[in-house]
């Protein structure tokens, strides 16, 4: 067998494995309420799990835990350390700032077109998600009533299109303008094909690359 034939077989095998990879499903299982916060991501025999109550992250294959790492366990800085760190940050920013250049008025690169693009992207992702089970009972609250209204509208625009696509969704969203912290319970099982995630990721990369010339021209004008 010639080297060219071996190479052709290798290319065909890689193409076949890539196709199998893209059509496979990525499964998400999550639970959040007042006493627990957990997210599991499953792909074939691999499982990733984040447990907010135990504050750990672990990786398992075929049910055997291979790696575990504590999260949310970083030491909180003291008051003096926080002040020193803030002073160093302000000094460094002052050195980097050019004379006559106002960094606060340079304009945010993440404007309305970007928000519209990522909103369409989120709705496209929702249309590709398969819902096995979703139960959500939430009271949306923030310290600011105006922000509560904005958060409630954003949650409705994300969750209710998902609820309309499946009869396995039980959803109840309510704004709470009195309390400062959200409450409720979310329990779900979702799945999405890796091909869909790869396609959406390619769209993000293409969009961000198209924004680079505009950001560069804006900096030159400033």
* Nearest Cα residue to 162 out of 130, 194, 191: 130
Task: Identify the bridge partners of residue 184 per DSSP, sorted by sequence position.
Answer: 138
Do 36 and 135 lie in a common domain?
A: no
Could you list the pLDDT tens digit for every one of the 222 residues in the chain?
Answer: 677 788 888 888 888 888 877 788 899 999 988 778 888 998 888 888 888 777 888 888 877 888 888 875 544 444 454 445 555 554 555 454 444 444 444 344 556 788 788 888 888 888 888 888 888 898 999 899 899 998 898 888 878 877 777 788 888 999 999 888 888 998 999 999 888 888 999 999 998 888 877 666 666 665
Cβ burial of 17 (10 Å; 0-12, 13-18, 19+) is exposed
Strand pairing class (169-175; 130-140): parallel
* Nearest Cα residue to 141 out of 177, 105, 187, 193: 177
Query: Domain residues for 183?
Result: 118-222
Do 208 and 127 lie in a common domain?
A: yes
The answer as to whether 79 is a domain residue is: no
Distance from C-alpha of 182 to C-alpha of 109, rounded to nearest angstrom: 30
Do 124 and 218 lie in a common domain?
A: yes
């Amino acid at each position: 067998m010639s080297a060219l034939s071996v190479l052709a077989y290798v290319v065909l095998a890689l193409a076949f494995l890539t196709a199998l990879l893209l059509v496979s499903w990525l499964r998400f299982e999550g639970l959040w309420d007042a006493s627990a916060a957990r997210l599991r991501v499953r792909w074939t025999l691999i499982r990733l799990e984040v447990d907010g109550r135990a504050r750990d992250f672990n990786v398992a294959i075929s049910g055997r835990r291979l790696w575990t790492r504590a999260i949310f366990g970083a030491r909180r800085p003291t008051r003096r350390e926080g002040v020193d760190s803030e002073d160093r940050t302000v000094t460094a920013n002052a050195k980097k700032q050019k004379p006559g250049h106002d960094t606060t008025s340079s304009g945010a690169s993440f404007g309305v077109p970007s928000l519209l693009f990522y909103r369409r992207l989120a709705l496209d992702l929702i249309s590709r998600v398969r819902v096995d089970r979703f139960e959500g009972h939430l009271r949306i609250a923030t310290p600011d009533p105006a922000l509560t209204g904005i958060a409630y509208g954003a949650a409705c625009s994300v969750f209710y299109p998902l609820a309309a696509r499946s009869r396995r969704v039980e959803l109840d969203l309510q704004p709470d303008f009195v309390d400062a912290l959200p409450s409720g319970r979310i329990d779900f099982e979702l799945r999405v094909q890796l091909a869909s995630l790869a396609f959406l990721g390619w769209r993000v990369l293409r969009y961000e690359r198209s924004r680079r010339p505009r950001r560069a021209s804006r900096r030159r004008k400033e």
